[in-house]
Chain A
């Protein structure tokens, strides 16, 4: 019986394209995540799949996708698109808000300005001094220290503040301060200094008898500025060694440098701070 060669009656899948293999018409190969069918027989290594006289693309690959499961990895992460594709916006520290630019760039931002934010509280317990530096950051423009129910170990002691700059306390006589006090005997007096080694916040001394204590709120203005002598001002109540209640008001500054301050401390003229709550708040101006 006569034999008639019909040629291939279906394509033959040959696996991944190899430069060392010869191909014939209707061979199908994969290459670069795409598939091709041979339209003209050729020898090994003579015609790559990109040569359209020998190969026709059967299926083109799509655009590479993003593996979401490996892109966002942490609870609180956000998936968003930037200029090149899907991206991870890693979860921020607490109390952050999402902000964007007109160009569609997303980032985390601090809470909007205009409100005092509690930063930390320190409780005195017969300590030589209390200091703050890790809370002084560019996040806030103004700080307020609320001192409540503070007691001095010694009678007739004063409370002082010194600034810290570049991790060292400023001890030179470049502090100036002015304070006034209204007393319960209907008198008012003032005190001050043009060259002290500190800012004295108690214009009159503090008492240490039972019940005698001092309460202050002290505002620190723009500690990180670089064109300003750093200033503080305060308002407080203080019972002195005679049992006299006084309203204390005042302001102080350091005029030795306009460089940024990175902290401050409070201490007594003698002995320690016996007790008291010292809470620090920060204000981001709107």
Chain B
């Protein structure tokens, strides 16, 4: 049984509320996945930029963006 606390009262979610909640969590998961992918991409660019700086190689604009404020 999936419940919510509504204004202090514990009640079971209706089918409609359950669907809405599932959709909200699905949207949350999608957002988190997108955020994680964006962060991973940025981290990779940052690592690449660091390696190229150490090696004295030219950075791409995307790599430079990760280290220039």
Check if B2 sits within 8 Å of A128, measured CB to CB. Answer: yes
CB distance A120 to B8 under 8 Å?
yes
Q: Are A193 and B21 in contact (CB under 8 A)?
A: no
A171 CB-CB contact with B under 8 Å: yes
Q: Is B41 an interface residue (CB 8 A)?
A: no
Mask, A88-125, CB within 8 Å of B = 1, is 00000000000000000000000000000000111111
Main secondary structure of the interface of B (DSSP, over half): helix
Known: A169-B20, A269-B25. A123 touches B5 (CB 8 A): yes
Taking CB atoms, residues of chain B closer than 8 Å to A33 are: none
Within the complex, the shortest CB–CB distance from B15 to chain A, in Å, comes to: 13
Question: Which 3 A-B pairs rank lowest in CB-CB distance, beginning with the nearest?
Answer: A269-B28, A197-B27, A130-B5
Q: Which residues of A contact B (CB under 8 A)?
A: 120-135, 158, 160, 162, 169, 171, 191, 193, 196-198, 200, 265, 267-270, 272, 278
- Which B residues form the contact surface with A (CB < 8 A)? 2-8, 10, 13, 18, 20-21, 23-25, 27-29, 31-32, 35
25 A-B Cβ contacts within 8 A?
A: A124-B5, A125-B5, A125-B10, A127-B5, A127-B10, A128-B2, A128-B3, A128-B4, A128-B21, A133-B6, A133-B7, A134-B7, A158-B32, A171-B20, A171-B23, A171-B27, A191-B35, A197-B24, A198-B24, A200-B28, A267-B21, A269-B28, A269-B32, A272-B2, A278-B5
Excluding A122-B5, A171-B20, A267-B25, 20 further A-B contacts by CB distance (< 8 Å) are: A120-B7, A121-B8, A122-B7, A125-B5, A126-B3, A131-B4, A131-B5, A133-B7, A134-B7, A135-B7, A160-B24, A162-B24, A169-B20, A169-B24, A171-B27, A191-B35, A193-B35, A197-B27, A268-B25, A269-B29
